[in-house]
C-alpha cells in the first residue's frame, strides 16, 4: 500500500491532530521549528505545489556567466521542470530563455552546452537568435501580416533575470523582492568565495563538471549540503584519512568551535573558519604559487580584506545553501535539480580562480575529485543515505523527522540570523521556515477570490 497523498482534505484532517506551527494554512501542519512531515518528501501534491510556489516564485540559480564566456555560447538548465538556456548573444549580452520553440513547443537546444550562431528548431525549421528573437519561420509566405507578427514569436523568457558576481538567477514571478534582497546575508559569502580569485571572478564551465543523482526528493540534498551533524558518521572513513592523527574528525565534532547558521530567507551556512582559518593562511604561504596569489589579493583587495578572504576559503572554509537550489561548498558550485518528487539530479561545477597560477587551479580540481562523485570519496556516502532515507520514509506510522537539534541554544544576531554549534540544525530550520512561507504565500493567494 502506498502512502495517502496529501490533498487539501487530508491535510485538513491531519491538521486537527497535529501540533502545528500554523494550523490556519494548507502546509503549516507539515513543517514546524521542530519537525518535518514525511509527506514533504514523498507527496506528489506537495511537489506540484513546490513547482508553483518555490520554483515558480523564488530566485532560481540558472548558471554562472563564465559558463557562456564568448558570444554564441550557451548552456542549459531547468527552472523547476521547465528547460531553460543560458546564452550570450552575438553582442555579448547574457540571456535566460525557455528552451521551447514558439511554434509547436519542441525544445530548440539539445546540447548541454556549446556554441552556435542561432538555435534552429528541428521540427519545422524555425530559427532564433541567441537573444531569443525569431529570425523567421520556414516557408514564410504561409504567414501573413494580419495574423503573424514576428516579434510575438520570440523564445519566451522568465519574468526577471538578475545577476550577482556573475551568478545568474531567474524568477518566473514579476513580483517579490529583488535578487539582492533575496540573497540578504548570503551575498557576503558569495563575495568571499569569488574574492579569492586574483581577478575577482571565478571560472565555471571550462573546468567541466560532475553529475550525480538519486531516486529521492530534492530537499534531502539541500538539507545535507549544510548539515554539520552527519560528516563524522557518513564521511568517517574519509575524514580519518584526510589529515594526520584523524584531526579532520574534529571539524564536525559535537564540541567543534565551527558554527551552523540560518542566515534568513532560507539560506544556511556551516562555517569552519574557527577550525581552519589559521591553517588556510599558513598553507597559502607555503608554496610560491600561493605566495603569488597572496600578493595579488593584497594588491586588489588591500591587506585586511585579503587576509579575511584567505582565512575564509583557502580550503574547506564554509558550506553555503542559497535557497532553494544552489550550494557553494569548498571550491564547488552545486546545483540541485528537482526533476520529480522522487528523482533529483545534481550538477557539481568545480570552479577555478580567474587569473590564478595553473598549479593552484589544478590543485582545486584534485581536491574536488578526492571527495566527489566516485571511487570511495565522500559524496557517494550521502547518496547512499538519501537512498536509505527514501526507503525509511515509506513507513507510514512514523510520520515525523525532527529538526530540533540545538534549538534551545540558538543565538540571534542583529540581522535576525540564528547561529549555533556546527552540528545544530539551524540551516534546516531556516530552510523549512522559508519553504513554508513560500508555500503559504501561494496558498493564501490561491484561496483568495
Name the residue nearer to another protein (CB basis): 220 or 234: 234
- Whether omega for the bond prior to residue 324 falls within 30 degrees of 0, making it cis, is yes
**Per-residue binding letters, 308-347, with another protein (x by CB under 8 A):** -------------------------------------xx-
Helix (H, G, I), strand (E, B) or coil at 162: strand
Minimum distance from residue 390 beta carbon to another protein (Å): 11
Q: Which residues contact 248 (CB under 8 A, 6 or more apart)?
A: 239, 240, 242
Name the residue nearer to another protein (CB basis): 345 or 399: 345
Q: Is residue 241 close enough to count as binding another protein by CB under 8 A?
A: yes
Name the residue nearer to another protein (CB basis): 12 or 215: 215
CB atoms within 10 A of CB 360: 18
Q: Is residue 110 close enough to count as binding another protein by CB under 8 A?
A: no
Name the residue nearer to another protein (CB basis): 51 or 343: 343
Which stretches of 109-216 are DSSP H helices? 179-183, 187-195
Q: Which residues of 54-72 are buried (b: 16+ CB within 10 A; e: fewer)?
A: bbbbbbbbbbbbbbbeeeb
Judge whether 443 and 25 are in contact, CB under 8 Å. yes
- Kindly state the cell numbers that stand for 405: 537539534
Residue selected from 124, 211, 282, 291 as contacting another protein according to rule CB under 8 A: 211
Helix (H, G, I), strand (E, B) or coil at 406: coil
Between CA 88 and CA 183 the distance in angstroms is: 24
Name the residue nearer to another protein (CB basis): 146 or 376: 376
- Kindly state the cell numbers that stand for 202: 571565478
Name the residue nearer to another protein (CB basis): 206 or 397: 206
Name the residue nearer to another protein (CB basis): 173 or 390: 390
Name the residue nearer to another protein (CB basis): 205 or 264: 205
Minimum distance from residue 430 beta carbon to another protein (Å): 27
Residue selected from 52, 131, 191, 240 as contacting another protein according to rule CB under 8 A: 240
DSSP secondary structure of 230-280:
SHHHHTHHHHHHHSGGGGGGGTTSTT-S-EEEEEETTEEEEE-HHHHHHHH
Name the residue nearer to another protein (CB basis): 212 or 252: 212
Q: Is residue 248 close enough to count as binding another protein by CB under 8 A?
A: no
Q: Is residue 200 close enough to count as binding another protein by CB under 8 A?
A: no
Closest-CA residue to 262 (of 434, 34, 22)? 434
Q: Is residue 1 close enough to count as binding another protein by CB under 8 A?
A: no
C-alpha distances (whole Å) from 8 to each of 204, 345, 397, 400, 447 are 43, 29, 20, 19, 11
C-alpha distances (whole Å) from 292 to each of 67, 315, 358, 411 are 26, 17, 12, 39
Q: Is residue 173 close enough to count as binding another protein by CB under 8 A?
A: no
Among positions 346-405, residues that touch another protein (CB under 8 A) are 346, 350, 358, 361-362, 365-366, 368-370, 373-377, 380-381, 383-385, 387, 391
Between CA 34 and CA 82 the distance in angstroms is: 33
Name the residue nearer to another protein (CB basis): 234 or 320: 234
Q: Which residues contact 8 (CB under 8 A, 6 or more apart)?
A: 26
Judge whether 166 and 149 are in contact, CB under 8 Å. no
Minimum distance from residue 116 beta carbon to another protein (Å): 18
What is the dihedral sign for C-alpha 370, 372, 376, 381? Answer: positive
Q: Is residue 112 close enough to count as binding another protein by CB under 8 A?
A: yes
Q: Is residue 430 close enough to count as binding another protein by CB under 8 A?
A: no
Size of interface with another protein, in residues (CB under 8 A): 40
Minimum distance from residue 234 beta carbon to another protein (Å): 6
Q: Is residue 213 close enough to count as binding another protein by CB under 8 A?
A: yes
Stretch that binds another protein, among 20-28, 204-212, 268-276, 305-313 (CB under 8 A): 204-212
**Per-residue binding letters, 63-92, with another protein (x by CB under 8 A):** ------------------------------
Q: Is residue 230 close enough to count as binding another protein by CB under 8 A?
A: no
| Interface with another protein (CB under 8 A) | 112, 206-215, 234, 236-238, 240-241, 345-346, 350, 358, 361-362, 365-366, 368-370, 373-377, 380-381, 383-385, 387, 391
Amino acid at each position: 500500500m502506498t502512502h495517502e497523498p496529501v490533498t487539501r482534505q487530508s491535510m485538513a484532517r491531519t491538521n486537527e491532530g497535529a501540533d502545528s506551527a500554523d494550523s490556519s494554512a494548507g502546509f503549516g501542519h507539515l513543517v514546524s521549528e521542530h519537525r518535518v512531515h514525511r509527506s514533504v518528501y514523498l507527496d506528489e501534491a506537495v511537489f506540484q505545489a513546490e513547482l508553483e510556489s518555490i520554483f515558480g516564485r523564488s530566485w532560481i540559480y540558472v548558471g554562472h556567466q563564465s559558463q557562456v564566456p564568448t558570444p554564441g555560447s550557451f548552456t542549459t538548465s531547468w527552472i523547476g521542470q521547465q528547460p531553460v538556456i543560458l546564452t550570450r548573444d552575438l553582442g555579448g549580452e547574457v540571456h535566460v530563455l525557455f528552451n521551447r520553440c514558439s511554434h509547436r513547443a519542441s525544445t530548440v537546444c539539445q546540447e548541454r552546452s556549446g556554441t552556435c550562431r542561432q538555435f534552429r528548431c528541428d521540427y519545422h525549421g524555425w530559427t532564433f537568435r541567441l537573444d531569443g528573437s525569431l529570425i523567421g519561420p520556414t516557408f514564410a509566405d504561409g504567414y501573413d501580416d494580419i495574423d503573424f507578427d514576428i516579434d510575438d514569436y520570440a523564445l519566451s523568457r522568465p519574468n526577471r533575470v538578475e545577476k550577482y558576481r556573475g551568478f545568474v538567477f531567474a524568477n518566473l514571478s514579476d513580483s517579490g523582492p529583488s535578487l539582492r534582497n533575496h540573497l540578504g546575508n548570503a551575498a557576503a559569502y558569495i563575495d568571499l568565495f569569488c574574492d579569492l580569485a586574483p581577478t575577482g571572478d571565478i571560472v565555471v564551465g571550462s573546468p567541466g563538471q560532475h553529475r550525480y543523482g538519486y531516486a529521492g526528493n530534492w530537499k534531502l540534498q539541500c538539507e545535507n549540503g549544510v548539515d554539520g551533524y552527519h560528516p563524522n558518521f557518513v564521511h568517517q572513513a574519509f575524514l580519518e584519512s584526510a589529515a594526520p592523527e584523524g584531526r579532520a574528525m574534529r571539524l564536525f565534532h559535537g564540541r567543534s568551535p565551527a558554527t551552523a547558521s540560518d542566515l534568513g530567507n532560507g539560506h544556511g551556512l556551516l562555517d569552519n573558519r574557527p577550525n581552519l582559518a589559521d591553517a588556510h593562511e599558513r598553507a597559502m604561504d607555503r608554496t610560491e604559487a600561493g605566495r603569488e596569489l597572496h600578493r595579488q589579493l593584497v594588491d586588489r583587495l588591500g591587506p585586511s580584506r585579503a587576509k579575511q578572504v584567505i582565512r575564509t576559503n583557502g580550503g574547506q572554509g564554509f558550506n553555503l545553501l542559497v535557497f532553494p537550489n544552489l550550494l557553494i561548498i569548498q571550491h564547488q558550485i552545486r546545483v540541485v535539480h528537482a526533476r520529480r518528487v522522487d528523482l533529483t539530479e545534481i550538477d557539481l561545477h568545480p570552479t577555478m580562480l580567474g587569473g590564478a597560477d595553473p598549479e593552484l587551479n589544478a590543485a582545486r580540481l584534485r581536491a574536488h575529485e578526492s571527495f566527489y562523485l566516485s571511487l570511495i570519496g565522500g559524496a557517494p556516502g550521502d547518496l547512499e543515505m538519501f537512498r536509505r532515507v527514501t526507503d525509511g520514509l515509506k513507513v507510514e506510522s512514523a510520520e515525523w523527522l525532527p529538526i530540533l537539534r540545538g534549538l534551545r541554544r540558538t543565538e540571534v544576531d542583529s540581522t535576525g540570523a540564528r547561529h549555533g554549534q556546527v552540528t545544530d540544525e539551524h540551516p534546516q530550520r531556516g530552510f523549512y521556515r522559508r519553504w513554508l512561507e513560500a508555500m503559504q504565500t501561494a496558498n493564501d493567494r490561491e484561496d483568495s477570490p
